[in-house]
Amino acid sequence: MKSKRQNSTRVPFWLRWLVPVLLVVTWLAIAGIGGPTFGRLSEVSSNDQASFLPAGAEATEAQDWQAKFRDSKEIPAVVVIESDAAFTPAQLGQAAALKGKLEELKAGSSVIGPIPSKDAKAVQFVVPIASSDEVKNVIKEVRDEVKASAPEGMQTFVTGPAGLTADLVSAFGGIDGILLLVALGAVFVILLVVYRSLLLPIAVLFTSVFALCAAILLVFGMAKLGWIQLNGQSQGILSILVIGAATDYALLYVARFREALTHTTNRTAAALTAWKAAWEPILASGATVIIALLCLLFSDLNSNKALGPVAAAGILCSLFAALTLLPAMMALLGRTAFWPFRPKVLPEEEREPEFVTGLEGQKGLWRATGTLVSRRPRTVWVASVLLLVIAAAGVLQLKANGVPQTAVILSASNAVDGQKALARHFDAGSGSPAVIVTDQAKAQDVLAKTKDTSGVGDAYLVADGGAPVIPGAPGAATEPAVRDGRVLINATLNDAADSNEAENVVVELRKELKTIDSGALVGGVTATALDTNTTAQRDLVTIIPVVLAVILVILMLLLRSVLAPVLLVASVVLSYGAAMGVSAVVFNHVFGFPGADATVPLFGFVFLVALGVDYNIFLMSRVREESIKHGTRPGILRGLGVTGGVITSAGVVLAATFAALGVIPIMFLVQLAFIVAFGVLLDTVLVRSLLVPALAYDLGHRIWWPSKLGRAETDRAARAQVSQPEPESAEAGVR
């Protein structure tokens, strides 16, 4: 009778047509504004080092002082002209003429050079670039000029901080187009296979794309107001995260909508029924990810702080799209969305079979999985845990202490090749000196100590305009620039600026110079990398406990339990460890990476733990719903069966979208793509499908402790509603 009443219920016109149409039109307007804004993100995005600096580090303080010694935000480019043999006097004269041509480009202040190498096989120029805003275009002009003007048969490079920044910007260039196309293409193919429908994948993709448009609009506004610092790294992750998350939430809603269509012929009633069933787990999942991402605000790294609110804004828009736009489209389309395989209304007696084992109505893979879980629960979860522990042992091989700047870009790079050329002919740290800020009264003592430090090739005081102070040299500056009683010293290191050896020299300089001037600061490219790595490792200890505590509280509120959330969080942490262990082995022995960025473990943790809990929320919220009706163990098997397909599909979609990050030739993004894609699949296939259900089945009603559902009498009352008692498990002690 309930079914007949539901079928015959008339839904008001405003709810049946007006509200859905209004929601769709509103989202079309948002997409119409947000879509074009995608191309304007470069206006508020920056990929220079300042966007990655640790907020409270010594290198950051040193950079702030450096800014006082110059009138602009110039960053140096280093031009290198290399020959197989020593330069002839004529060739040296031709190279020297390049200085005037470079200054005619008006890229910045005075060009320094030519500086010949000791072996006479190379010369270099230091070309200040006025601003990092147009560095890509300016470096292209410089490279074209150098290539055209260099002596015939010689190799030319433009490197240094400006050259590397330009190549980094070029590497991020695929984010606006290629990355999005690859991600959307992968999602579309997966949805076609899953649903065997043409309209539904398009509706889900519209939800994801419109959510991304809204997120871009929101992020652009926050960056324009100066609330956040946007960079290419955050921009790429935003696109992938929004597409993956919005699709995941859409899949959960669609599964509920399809189920509701088997109970009623009224498409609006089905859309509302699905919304009522899906909003709580979707909201809990989204809130978990949002709060976990906002925990990155506790980081001392500007790059982490930037990603937190950017990615959280993306998840927020994904939530709104999945809970408003998609239900509106489903309410308008009804069964047509599933064409040509439209769901049919089932006879009332087939809709809610009486559950004895929890396997009723199930077939295929998920019936087999449920049978395995129910017959050997303890064997299944113990074996799963052992497998994850073995995989996690690979973490011992993880080298997440940072990588050389020249290894960050995986594609061909003139700047990277230029750094290698510099190392062949000059002090390896040439062009990227360590910068020392010291008291004017102690400058000579600090300079002498700097020159005596092992690993320092040369050091000099800096005059106005950046020229070196060379006492007694004709035409050279004789007095250093002074700002607020402080001066600058540039120290060229013997080792490459992005090497571990150079970082050790910076550590030694900081230790020794403070014995002369306690307020001395050591900055520069090497110091920035050192402080970034140190801060990133400290962030792991700070942020991980906060994220876990937040997720635990959300799960407790959702599941009305203490034990279940603790076990779920533990399973996801173990899954994260296994993913990082396997990733370390793959990075070292398959990809041959020299190491990993120090922020990779933290980003991997935030995404895998937050997204991994998503699937456990989808599963356990349905298990709790079924447990109330039929008892815990039948409810576990029923929940596993009805969510298995949708969660597995969601996991494959999310893994595919994150894998798309691999098309961007940046080592950090390639590594993050592998970690998250592999980790999501591991969590979907092993943890959510076997470990969690088997562990919950083994514990039975105790999994809900200390709620009322965790009491034996409550469980017996639920099972008493079915015609037969719960079957004995083959696993001893399960009851």
Burial 36-71 (b: 16+ CB within 10 A, else e): ebbeebbebbbbbbbbbbbeebbbbebbebbeebbe
Those residues whose C-beta lies under 8 Å from the C-beta of residue 176, and which sit 6 or more positions away, are 38, 39, 41
Q: How far apart are CA 655 and CA 63, in angstroms?
A: 39
Q: Are 296 and 307 in contact (CB under 8 A)?
A: yes
Summarize the confidence of residues 566-573 as an average pLDDT: 91
* CB-based burial label for 592 (10 Å; 0-12, 13-18, 19+): exposed
Q: How far is CA 570 from the centre of its chain?
A: 22
Q: Give the integer Cα–Cα distance in Å for 250 and 248.
A: 5
Supply 679's token pair: 């980790």
Distance of CA 394 to the CA centre of its chain: 22
Tell me which of 340 and 721 has the higher pLDDT. Answer: 340
pLDDT number for residue 5: 41
Q: Which residues pair with 483 in a beta bridge?
A: 486
DSSP string, 108-134: SSPPEEEEE-TTSSEEEEEEEES-STT
**Closest to 666 measured CA to CA, from 368, 403, 353, 365:** 403
Residue 361 in this model has a pLDDT that exceeds 60: no
With cut-offs at 50, 70 and 90, classify the pLDDT of residue 173. low
Grouping H, G, I as helix, E, B as strand and the rest as coil, residue 561 is coil
CA distance 135 to 163: 8
> Which pLDDT value is given to residue 511?
93
Instruction: Provide the pLDDT for residue 724.
Output: 46
For the residues 29-41, what does the mean pLDDT come to?
82
| Residue whose pair of structure tokens reads 């070196």 in the numeric block | 468
Does 119 have pLDDT greater than 90?
A: no
* pLDDT greater than 80 at residue 397: yes
At 198 the pLDDT is 85
In terms of Cα–Cα distance, which of 217, 352, 397, 417 is closest to 642? 352
DSSP 193-214: HHH--SHHHHHHHHHHHHHHHH
Q: Which helix (H) or strand (E) holds 159?
A: strand 155-159
* CA distance readout (Å), 424 to 88, 419, 428, 496, 671: 19, 9, 8, 11, 30
Spatial distance between the Cα atoms of 35 and 352, rounded to a whole number of angstroms: 44
| Average pLDDT of span 583-604 | 90
Which tokens belong to 412? 């061909």
Residue 349 pLDDT grade (very low, low, confident, very high; cuts 50, 70, 90):
low
pLDDT given for residue 359 in this prediction: 55
Average pLDDT over every residue of 171-189: 75
Q: Is 628 exposed, middle or buried (0-12, 13-18, 19+ CB in 10 A)?
A: middle
**Model confidence over 120-140: pLDDT tens digits?**
899 988 888 876 657 888 888
Q: How high is the pLDDT of residue 131? A: 64
Centroid of chain to Cα 672: 6
337 against 408, higher pLDDT: 337
Cβ–Cβ < 8 Å for 128, 76: yes
What is the percentage of the chain residues whose pLDDT exceeds 70?
88
Highest mean predicted confidence (pLDDT) among 67-71, 227-231, 408-412, 655-659: 655-659
More confident residue, 241 or 9: 241
Q: For 617-629, what is each residue's pLDDT tens digit?
A: 888 888 888 888 8
Name which residue leads in pLDDT, 367 or 276: 276
Mean pLDDT of the region 158-181 = 77
Per the structure block, which two tokens stand in for 208?
Answer: 């994801």
Residue 40 tokens, joined: 């304007």
Please determine, for residue 458, whether its predicted confidence score (pLDDT) is greater than 80: yes
Residue 47 scores a pLDDT above 80: no
Cα–Cα distance, 645 to 666 (Å, whole number):
34
**Residue 454 neighbours by CB under 8 Å, 6+ apart:** 505, 508
Residue 56 · residue 305 · CB < 8 Å = no
Query: Of 437, 356, 582, 486, which is closest to residue 62 (Cα–Cα)?
Result: 437
Q: What is the pLDDT of residue 514?
A: 93
Q: Which residues contact 207 (CB under 8 A, 6 or more apart)?
A: 246, 247, 250, 321, 322, 325, 326, 329
Grouping H, G, I as helix, E, B as strand and the rest as coil, residue 733 is coil
Q: Is residue 178 pLDDT above 60, yes or no?
A: yes
Conformational region of residue 214, where left means phi above 0, alpha means psi within -120 to 50, and beta covers everything else: alpha
163-187: burial string, b at 16+ Cβ within 10 Å, e else: bbbbbbbbbbebbbeebbebbbebb
* pTM beyond 0.85: no
Catalogue the long-range contacts made by 588-595 (C-beta closer than 8 Å, 24 or more residues apart). 588/397, 588/399, 591/670, 593/403, 593/407, 593/667, 593/671, 594/399, 594/403, 594/404, 594/407, 595/399, 595/400, 595/401, 595/402, 595/403, 595/407
| Distance, CA of 615 to CA of 675 (rounded, Å) | 17
Cα 104 to Cα 107, 163, 431: the distances in Å are 8, 19, 21
pLDDT of the residue at 233? 73
Per-residue tokens: 119: 């072996």
Q: Which residue has the tokens 């109970």?
A: 263
What would the pLDDT profile of 494-517 be if each residue is shown by its tens digit? 887 777 888 899 999 999 999 999
pLDDT at 608: 87
What pLDDT is recorded for position 7? Answer: 46
- For the stretch 663-714, pLDDT in tens is 888 888 899 999 999 999 999 889 989 999 999 999 988 999 998 887 877 7
- Label residue 51 by pLDDT band (50, 70, 90): low
